[in-house]
Chain A
Amino acid sequence: MTAVASVIRAPRTVNRRLLTAAAFAVLGLVDVFVFGHLAHAGDATFGLSLPGAAVTVPSLHVPAAPVAYALGAASIVLAIGRAAVELGQRVRRVTIAAVLLFFVVALLCWADAGNAIPLNLVNLLAVALSSSIPIILGAMAGCLCERSGVINIAIEGQLLFGAFGAAVVASAFGGLWLGLVTGSLAGGLIAVLLAVFAIRYMVDQIILGVVLNVFALGLTDFLFDRVLTPYQNRLNSPATFASVKIPGLGDIPIIGPIFFDSTIFLYITYAVVILVQVGLFRTRWGLRVRAVGEHPTAADTVGIRVLGIRYRQVILGGLVAGIGGAYLTIGSVGSFGEDMSSGLGYIALAALIFGRWDPLGALGAALIFGFATSLEQILSTLGTALPSNILLMAPYVVTIVAVASRGGKIRPPKADGKPYVKA
């Protein structure tokens, strides 16, 4: 009976395996025929330290075409391996990471081949990390909220309010820290609206989130036109946080400038991710939050206050997203601009979902999105022949491959979006 059944059952697993293998093969072929075959002759040069670093790491010169060929070939080998044998989960993940990494490296080789300007990898990664900050914080905000069972589409509005509040207060009162706190509170304000309407009045949470985003956009646009523009100097010219190099860690070659030499926002982001991850899965607080998000009635019957936890989580999420918003103004460009979150909130939401409502998963997805954005920026400064639209597309393709091949069920918290009414 077992034999019959396993023969019959086989197609499903085989399908997924072949799908992943095919995706690997396609990426490998692109490595070979696009990045390898079309690369200009000559080496690609990768800078590994920033100007003025204490210890200078020599730049890396690699022959572009051969490297792309080799990486492409390796990807194809992995594709064949993947198609032929059923691998363990750990190994499967490693293969996915490897193929994606090969793809990116081949792309960079091709982009910089024969170019006089070296491509500074450290700079690329540092920029990628900072541009991920609002996405990561947005995704953590979503995670805090949705794990307790309230859908948060309003991340976009929270970012925008945070950006606005931080810029205005930092500009008017001259205190950056005050601006940061205000930004956070401004995000929290949108969250309070979300919480009251979703939890108390049980308004449909998706519609509510979209409405709040439109509201935040409309209000900040209006204030920008009527108040900020006329009083640009007083109200919309905040300073920005300077980079703080962490003593010791910041001086490590390559790693230091990427991870330990940035504004306070990056360090806050580290702390938030760790707190959310540990908090959700290792503490009483997290256990209760997840119980409320999965099965509120069960939580209620053991004496947990369902609605109280939901209010707290939604507002906490708003405060975190507000910090992400503050980064957009006082953490990078300074002044506020109309619709300056430009969809980052929705990308954060996507990162949350691709990351399966898991803080670390969401972090990974957010980093991929952030990397994509900065890659496009930096390559366009190199003046490569690459149409930027195609490049913009690549990360999404990468995400789809990653999600598709990870397999298993994508399962949101069971009670996500469902208002709780007592029996």
Chain B
Amino acid sequence: MKLELRGITKRFGSLTANDHIDLTVLPGQIHALLGENGAGKTTLMNVLYGLLQPDEGEFILDGQPTAFHSPKDAINAGIGMVHQHFMLVPVFTVAENITLGVERTHALGLLDRRRTRRDVRELSERYGLHVDPDALVEDIPVGVQQRVEIVKALLREARVLILDEPTAVLTPGETEDLFRVMRELKAGGTSIIFISHKLREVQAIADTITVLRRGKVVGERPPTASDSELALLMVGRKVELRVTKAPAQPGDVVLDVAGLTVPTGDHLLTDHPAAVDDVSFQVRAGEILGIAGVQGNGQTELCEALMGLLPSVAGSVRLSGRDITSATPRDRLRAGVGYIPEDRQEDGLVTDFSVADNLILDVYDRPPFASGLSLNLDAIRSTAVKRVADFDIRTTSTSTPTGTLSGGNQQKVILAREIGRDVKLLVASQPTRGLDVGSIEFVHRRIVEQRDQGVAVVIVSSELDEIYALADRIAVMYEGRITGFRPPTTSAEELGLLMAGAGTGPDAGTQAGAASDSPGEPTEPV
């Protein structure tokens, strides 16, 4: 199916998110959309999918002008979308999610489970998208959830498939799988609109690349275009794709974790006995410890335990010598811990609050933001204006509800809050997930600056690029344990092996020193 977008314009109040966008997607084409955070990619796709109504412009399908008043219209016209934030009901089974809205039924609307299961299985096998129809969505990893989303679109016979940042949450292996499926779909004549911030992926898979900036199309390039050319086009300035940093000058131990063990939440797989299993490490002032690992190997739980959001059942956490193992999250924030959570919408922001309010969420009761019982609104506003400018947060005003910001800009609000204040320790989980290349450069530079000012930094990332860019020391996590410490000069192959569980134990690392001086410390009784 040939899809043309002509002059699509979408305004939110004074902000023009899409400004007369023209785009042509040919049958069987993988058309990549690149653009900085807030460029209007998701908005454009939501308009195409009928979730938002355009203010101007029209869609032309195989020569026929068409309008989509709701997702239903778009689905009927053969458009499918995998959203940036997945649209799955966690307590439903895979099959229920896939057929929701196009249920297979007997008479009287009774669900026909056999036919549902069969259809799902058939379709998933045809494209090699293996999903278990009876598994609950909340029990399956994000990579599989994504496959469910794709099968969902295919079941509705999508001939144009929109993938909005599908790889942000995938492991490298899962990304490869996704690409294989995309090629297969393409061979079958399906067009794909693919959104990603990762230039390498776009170059690898796309047939053509359209770049958006501030709501406008600024150019179309073939996949052979270079990194720097694409980055320049996206951001409008030259981007340093790899920040330069001086060697670390570690000072005193700031964070000392010994034998930390965190039980698995009961919704997780039962054959993983502990999410974090007897983990020990130290981080000194002025150094960055990068924790690498395939997502879902306990990194999330480790961060949450460091912040006091999950209870630990054994081990201790010390901050500059003070035992904070059972301190509340608030105490830890006060003690100088900054935290950038992985799930920004869920844990990092109050999406209904304004940008300004979110920027002071953890210090609202402190001067200069509060005096006595009242908030000092001027100070809040002026700080917000400054942070928004510093971090280049694209928002119409500081009083805009944070939930309406683009995915990447929401992330920047958290970064601005946590990096903006004085901290001793910064714990950042996937700090640049979903950010554009320009913002990644900026955030990386800020994190290195923090390090140079003597902050101890823990970065958790499943992107090896990010680990290499930032870490002074690398710890690899696998199945809840640290399988090794390595210097940043280690090859990607070796790290890859460790990430796949080929380590020999927590103290197998070469980077003895600070890292492995407490492996044998007895765990505290519960």
Contact = CB atoms under 8 A, between A and B. Distances in A.
21 contacts: A1-B481, A8-B523, A9-B274, A9-B313, A283-B105, A283-B110, A283-B111, A287-B96, A290-B92, A294-B90, A295-B88, A297-B87, A298-B97, A298-B100, A302-B87, A302-B102, A303-B71, A303-B72, A411-B91, A414-B91, A422-B51
Ranked 5 nearest A-B pairs via Cβ: A303-B72, A5-B273, A302-B101, A298-B87, A5-B274
Interface in B48-97: 49, 51-52, 70-72, 75, 81, 83, 87-92, 96-97
A411 B138 CA distance: 14
Interface string A399-418: 00000000011010010000
Contacts of A295: 87-90
B314 interface: yes
A9 B273 contact: yes
Nearest to B261: A8
Interface in A271-293: 282-285, 287-288, 290-291
A391 B147 CA distance: 56
Nearest to A415: B89
B89 A298 contact: yes
A284 B46 CA distance: 26
B109 interface: yes
A300 interface: yes
B79 to A, nearest CB: 11
Nearest to B86: A298
Given A287-B103, A302-B71, A303-B75, 6 more contacts: A1-B278, A4-B274, A9-B263, A9-B273, A290-B92, A294-B90
Contacts of B72: 303
B70 A284 contact: no
A200 B185 CA distance: 42
Contact of A2 (B71, B103, B273, B523): B273
A52 interface: no
B108 interface: yes
A313 to B, nearest CB: 15
B465 interface: no
Contact of B526 (A11, A291, A297): A11
B51 A301 contact: yes
B110 A303 contact: no
Given A284-B105, A303-B71, A303-B72, A5 B49 contact: no
A294 B136 CA distance: 14
Interface of A: 1-2, 4-6, 8-9, 11-12, 282-285, 287-288, 290-291, 294-295, 297-304, 408-409, 411, 414, 422-423
B418 interface: no
Nearest to B76: A303
B87 A284 contact: no
Contacts, number: 104
B278 A298 contact: no
B90 A12 contact: no
B52 A423 contact: yes
B103 A4 contact: no
Given A6-B273, A8-B314, A423-B46, A284 B111 contact: yes
A300 B50 CA distance: 10
A422 B71 CA distance: 12
B49 to A, nearest CB: 7
Contacts of B109: 283-285
Interface in B155-199: none
Nearest to B156: A302
Contact of B90 (A282, A285, A414): A414
B263 A302 contact: no
Nearest to A2: B273
Contacts of B313: 8-9, 11
B481 to A, nearest CB: 7
Contacts of A288: 100-101
A302 B87 CA distance: 9
Contact of B100 (A2, A11, A287, A409): A287
Contacts of B261: 4-5, 8
B395 to A, nearest CB: 17
A9 B81 CA distance: 42
Interface in B109-139: 109-111
B277 A1 contact: yes
Contacts of B91: 290, 294, 411, 414
B88 A298 contact: yes
A8 B263 contact: yes
Nearest to B91: A294
B108 A283 contact: yes
A90 to B, nearest CB: 18
Given A9-B274, A284-B105, A299 B263 contact: no
Given A9-B263, A283-B109, A301 B274 contact: no
A299 B88 CA distance: 9
B523 to A, nearest CB: 8
Contacts of A303: 70-72, 75, 101
Contacts of B266: 408-409
Nearest to A423: B51
B151 to A, nearest CB: 13
Contacts of B96: 287
B497 to A, nearest CB: 19
Interface string B254-287: 0000000101001000000110011000000000
A412 B119 CA distance: 31
Given A287-B111, A291-B89, A304 B273 contact: no
Nearest to B46: A423
B122 to A, nearest CB: 20
A8 B111 contact: no
Contacts of B46: 423
Contacts of A284: 103, 105, 109, 111
A282 B273 contact: no
A158 B21 CA distance: 52
A414 B346 CA distance: 13
A409 B138 CA distance: 14
Given A2-B273, A295-B89, A302 B52 contact: no
Contacts of B89: 290-291, 294-295, 298-299
B111 to A, nearest CB: 6
Interface string B294-332: 000000000000000000011000000000000000000
Contacts of B92: 287, 290-291, 294
A301 B87 contact: yes
Interface-central residue, B75, B81, B313, B314, by most chain A CB under 10 Å: B313
B501 to A, nearest CB: 12
A180 B55 CA distance: 50
Given A298-B88, A304-B100, A4 B278 contact: yes
Contacts of B108: 283
A7 B269 CA distance: 18
Given A283-B109, A288-B100, A301 B278 contact: no
A298 B261 CA distance: 36
A59 to B, nearest CB: 46
Nearest to A9: B263
Nearest to B108: A283
Interface string B432-468: 0000000000000000000000000000000000000
Contacts of B101: 288, 299, 302-304
A301 B83 contact: yes
Given A2-B273, A287-B100, A294-B92, A301 B105 contact: no
A202 B526 CA distance: 46
Interface-central residue, A283, A287, A290, A299, by most chain B CB under 10 Å: A287
A305 to B, nearest CB: 8
Contacts of B83: 301
A288 B526 CA distance: 45
A300 B51 CA distance: 8
A422 B100 CA distance: 19
Contacts of A285: 109
A303 B72 CA distance: 4
A294 B97 CA distance: 12
B277 A5 contact: yes
